[in-house]
Structure 1
Amino acid sequence: MPELFDTLIRGVTLLDGSGAEARAADVALRAGRIARIAMLEDGADAIDPGSAAHVVQGAGLVLAPGFIDVHTHDDTNVVRQPEMTPKLSQGVTTVIVGNCGISAAPVTLRGEPPDPMNLLGTSDAFCYPDFAAYAAAVQAARPAVNVAALVGHTALRSNHMDRLDRTATPAEIAAMRAQLQEALDHGAIGLSTGLAYANAFAATTDEVLALAEPLAHAGALYATHLRSEFADILEAMDEAFRIGRHARVPVVISHMKCAGLENWGRSGEVLDALERAQRWQPVGCDCYPYTASSSTLDLKQVTSDFDIMVTWSEPHPDMGGRLLADIAAEWDLGLEDAARRLQPAGAVYHCMEDADVDRILSHPATVVGSDGLPNDPLPHPRLWGAFPRVLGHYARDRELFPLTVAINKMTGLSAERFGLAGRGLVREGYWADLVLFDAATIRDAASFTDPMQPAEGIACVWVNGELSWQQRKPTGARAGRFLARTKPAGASAAPAQ
């Protein structure tokens, strides 16, 4: 009697997420997992289509693990907008939230969220005083993608400090550590910092060293938006590496970049510094495939060296979508004064050059993260387009790296680095997070002027075995779950022996 499967995906070109070459295969799913793989070119018999309740013809298409977005700010959206269309539509099946020092939990606000926590929403979005409450809320919301979470340093500071423009006292650090430990006990995958932001910049290295100490025992990691991505980037990297060595944990440098005109062309020395650190400690980075960044409108980043587009402004909402320079000219103000009048606000900064992005994105230590801002009314196109852009623009059209390498940077390497057990590879027994796409047509449709556009070339997406996206439309299935840390993070970034 033939085996019974829920779904059979027939005749695909399989890229399994490991970086191995493509193979022709049939893949069968059962009870949310990959039940059987038949490698057809190795002489294995095709899986009987009569053995499956649903059969998908995959001839001419690539089957890969579902993409893992390692750098998101989807913390509150996975609960408030659980359909998660911007991510599901581009083949993302797992998001990692809590980046850049900002997280939805654990948070107890006194008034409105401080910058940059306001990127996650207004005060009503922060209703998780402890991490366990957030994990339970994600499970109850049944988002369309899986969710793993970091704990934000700025969030912890906001909970325990009367003002954020100073370093924490020993008592405040102890209180933050207690909250971090609770989160680790309930499955948080690590600690994140956003030391470049005004509300964390006053934190000394010693403050972060003390706070990071509980991470090693939990098998967690340290992810950081560096204290500077501009002229002082090498010093900021040294600080991050020191924190990782002290805490004995892997370090992930968030959205690695060479920002600012004076920094263009420095990616070689930046990556050299990363490689030197890798000799002694586990270190990696993530990168998004664009030359523009996006965040709150920050006076420290206001310059005439490159275009800055305002994406939202609380006091002047009609200025969203316009260049800061044009607004300043209209108001007869300097750039900084105009930016100050617009705040609180958001912006896209066209602050990088292509050669640096190419070099960082193609480095073996780099995985892919979108850094999309889902609450931005005019979001950076990376929110909807980052992963298909890597596959279409960078791997296929520009041949920056092979498709096998691109897939590994978005799946297997990401799962290993962040400790996501049973995900990131197409293996028998692994969870059936899968994406079926056309390698010849996949591309990002989102643009800076029209950013909320689903990708082209994505045929199907399965999350935990459930068909969740098909032919540019959601199926209505929401099969994601909260992913508590189950194995130590960072094995893939271990230092060379």
Structure 2
Amino acid sequence: MLDILIKNALIYDGTGRQPYSADIGITGKKIAFVSDTVNAAAELTIDADGLIASPGFIDVHSHSEFSLTSHPEADSKLLQGVTTEINGNCGFSAAPIYNEARQNLEKEFLLHKVQKRWQTFKEYNKVLSEAKPAINFSTLTGHGNIRASVLGYKNQAAEGADIANMAALLRESVTHGSIGMSTGLIYSPGVYSSNAELIELIRQSGVSDLIYATHMRSESDAIIESIEDTIEIGRQTGIKIHISHLKTAGKHNWHKIDAVLRLIADAAAEGIKITCDRYPYTASQTSLDTALPSWTYEGGDEAELARLSNPTELKKIKAETAAFRENDDYWKGVLVSSVKTEKNRHLEGMTIADAAAGAGAKPIDFAIDLLLEERLAVDAIFFSMNEDNLRRILSLPNCMVGSDSTIRPISQHNGSNGQSGKPHPRGFGSFPRYLSKYVLSEGLMPLTEAIRKITGLPAETFGLKDRGVLRENAYADITLFDEKRIRDTSDYAQPWSAPEGIEYVFVNGRLAAKGGSLAPVRAGMLL
């Protein structure tokens, strides 16, 4: 007796091989068989005629460390067909959290209404397990966490003892399930670290058999130098390197795409293990204050607020911002995504340029006043990328898809319970958009290859054993979708919208979603 029998499916098994028609049998958490038509009894039989059966999609760049504990139903990802997330990206992870890191990250606990507190991954794993997440969770260790736990948010070099202490925290994280380290080199405190520090940290920690994922020091003016630094880390340590959300930001940098792709290809030819990810949109999302000079954030939030309130330092901040932003047109491409206070809620969905014009203010003045009023809790969407470059990046054989987004509870969104704002549509539609627009409609690559790059390749790259493939004894993470109906419905004006065409999603052998609705069972695992 099978638990589930999926009949008449068109199998794309995650390896890149050509599709074939077959039945899938599931017993417990595993796939019992993938074979020709089978007559077998099952508790649940699904006729998948006309549907594609794929391994569950793997989101290689997520930020759900805190949100998954408070919204374990994970509907914004599950309804896209995502069954596994790689978290702990951009230098920020759930743990470790000590000293200044503990003080600074308290805002995350409060934002996500997390009742319990933790410091280590061992403690975090217990909290997340008790929440019973609906999808599988895997994580990197954030370099920002370990640096802030040891050195705080000061702009200073890490000395020998500091690196040894950071390495010890990284090793401890790995013993409790971390799959590698990430950096966020535009954010405090990662921005204060040198390439030499990162190389020595990886060497001392002994994690060179894992993976290093990086939000590089620059994705715009200094992108070439940043990629060279990243490659050097791989060359010096032997660790797998992964470039997060690869892009050429800023119109004056779009022409650098040839050099970017050549650097990556040359590194691979040299034998350096290099991969990347990208979301299928030409706008990014992050904190509004990243538009300011990096020294503005030194010392943490309170120090930054003090600088923005000091007339002398504020004058310097404005002058430097004006110098490295092209002109006021820059602010026409910066959209307010979310704020904390009801007073400024009406600004969500407006560009800084339009909001400033309405207030009779200069854009830079308006942006800084808003940051002060919201105590820095302003997220923004930055329109700075090129569609042709996006296509070229997605076409890379070693490029995967990452939403760069946290879990958001679509079913709880009503604009009055904290689930408001206008977040980036990538959090609701990245995977259906990738498949429907770029693959099925535009033919950017064969569907076999596209599915491999969101299933088998991520599992191989991040060391997820028996995931990302449809074969006997693999975990039964399966997405069934209709290639004629699959599409994203979320956009920048109305982001809170689930995709269409994802008909069934199974996580570890349990039915997790059907016809765009969640099932009551939450069967995710900590990987």
Question: What TM-score results when the alignment is normalised by the length of structure 2?
Answer: 0.86
Q: Secondary structure at the match of 1:21?
A: coil
2:232 to 234, 237, 242: 242
Amino acid in structure 2 at the alignment position of 1:54: L
CA 1:22 to 1:111, structure 2 compared with 1: closer, same or farther past 3 Å? Answer: closer
Instruction: Write the distance in 1 (CA, Å) between the matches of 2:265 and 2:437.
Output: 27
Amino acid in structure 2 at the alignment position of 1:55: T
Q: Secondary structure at the match of 1:133?
A: helix
Q: Secondary structure at the match of 2:464?
A: coil
Amino acid in structure 2 at the alignment position of 1:288: Y
Instruction: Write the distance in 1 (CA, Å) between the matches of 2:240 and 2:61.
Output: 16
**Structure 2 residue 434 is matched with structure 1 residue 434:** no
Instruction: Write the distance in 2 (CA, Å) between the matches of 1:312 and 1:207.
Output: 35
Cα distance, 1:199 vs structure 2: 3.0
Cα distance, 1:252 vs structure 2: 0.2
Further displaced range: 265-274 or 355-364: 265-274
Cα distance, 1:361 vs structure 2: 0.5
- 1:370 corresponds in structure 2 to 403
**Structure 2 residue 211 is matched with structure 1 residue 221:** yes
Cα displacement string for residues 263-310 of structure 1 (whole angstroms, at most 9, x for unaligned residues): 113222211100111123100100110001001112248662451101
1:252 to 242, 245, 250: 242
- 1:468 corresponds in structure 2 to 512
Is the contact between residue 100 and residue 152 of structure 2 (CA under 8 Å) also seen in structure 1? no
CA 1:162 to 1:217, structure 2 compared with 1: closer, same or farther past 3 Å? Answer: closer
- 1:231 corresponds in structure 2 to 221
Paired residue total? 472
- 1:337 corresponds in structure 2 to 365
Q: Secondary structure at the match of 1:34?
A: strand
- 1:19 corresponds in structure 2 to 16
- 2:351 corresponds in structure 1 to 323
- 1:106 corresponds in structure 2 to 96
Instruction: Write the distance in 1 (CA, Å) between the matches of 2:251 and 2:190.
Output: 25
Cα displacement string for residues 184-231 of structure 1 (whole angstroms, at most 9, x for unaligned residues): 111100000010224321111122112222565473110000100002
CA 1:219 to 1:62, structure 2 compared with 1: closer, same or farther past 3 Å? Answer: same
Instruction: Write the distance in 2 (CA, Å) between the matches of 1:249 and 1:215.
Output: 12
CA 1:214 to 1:127, structure 2 compared with 1: closer, same or farther past 3 Å? Answer: farther
Cα distance, 1:331 vs structure 2: 3.0
Counterparts of 1:51-66 in structure 2 under 5 Å?
Answer: 51-66=41-56
**Structure 2 residue 289 is matched with structure 1 residue 289:** no
- 1:10 corresponds in structure 2 to 7
CA 1:111 to 1:178, structure 2 compared with 1: closer, same or farther past 3 Å? Answer: closer
Cα distance, 1:127 vs structure 2: 2.6
Q: Secondary structure at the match of 1:240?
A: helix
Cα displacement string for residues 331-358 of structure 1 (whole angstroms, at most 9, x for unaligned residues): 3333222221222111001110100000
Instruction: Write the distance in 2 (CA, Å) between the matches of 1:214 and 1:60.
Output: 53
- 1:141 corresponds in structure 2 to 131
Q: Secondary structure at the match of 1:242?
A: helix
Q: Which runs of 5+ in 1 are unaligned?
A: 41-45, 484-497
Instruction: Write the distance in 2 (CA, Å) between the matches of 1:299 and 1:148.
Output: 30
- 2:185 corresponds in structure 1 to 195
Instruction: Write the distance in 1 (CA, Å) between the matches of 2:230 and 2:108.
Output: 24
CA 1:265 to 1:111, structure 2 compared with 1: closer, same or farther past 3 Å? Answer: closer
Question: What TM-score results when the alignment is normalised by the length of structure 1?
Answer: 0.91
Cα distance, 1:460 vs structure 2: 0.3
Cα distance, 1:23 vs structure 2: 0.3
Q: Which has the higher helix share?
A: 2
- 1:28 corresponds in structure 2 to 25
Cα distance, 1:21 vs structure 2: 0.9
Cα displacement string for residues 464-497 of structure 1 (whole angstroms, at most 9, x for unaligned residues): 00000001100111000100xxxxxxxxxxxxxx
Cα displacement string for residues 116-167 of structure 1 (whole angstroms, at most 9, x for unaligned residues): x967864965832111112222222210000000010111122122433333
- 1:299 corresponds in structure 2 to 291
Counterparts of 1:479-494 in structure 2 under 5 Å?
Answer: 479-483=523-527
- 1:492 corresponds in structure 2 to none
- 1:489 corresponds in structure 2 to none
Cα distance, 1:56 vs structure 2: 0.3
Instruction: Write the distance in 2 (CA, Å) between the matches of 1:470 and 1:333.
Output: 50
Q: Secondary structure at the match of 1:264?
A: helix
Amino acid in structure 2 at the alignment position of 1:308: V
Instruction: Write the distance in 2 (CA, Å) between the matches of 1:120 and 1:409.
Output: 33
**Structure 2 residue 145 is matched with structure 1 residue 155:** yes
CA 1:120 to 1:18, structure 2 compared with 1: closer, same or farther past 3 Å? Answer: farther
Amino acid in structure 2 at the alignment position of 1:244: G
Instruction: Write the distance in 2 (CA, Å) between the matches of 1:94 and 1:162.
Output: 32
Amino acid in structure 2 at the alignment position of 1:329: A
Further displaced range: 449-458 or 118-127: 118-127
Counterparts of 1:116-131 in structure 2 under 5 Å?
Answer: 122=111, 125=114, 127-131=117-121
Instruction: Write the distance in 1 (CA, Å) between the matches of 2:149 and 2:283.
Output: 32
Instruction: Write the distance in 2 (CA, Å) between the matches of 1:83 and 1:390.
Output: 23
Q: Which runs of 5+ in 2 are unaligned?
A: 293-320, 409-419
Instruction: Write the distance in 1 (CA, Å) between the matches of 2:207 and 2:267.
Output: 22
Is the contact between residue 6 and residue 54 of structure 1 (CA under 8 Å) also seen in structure 2? yes
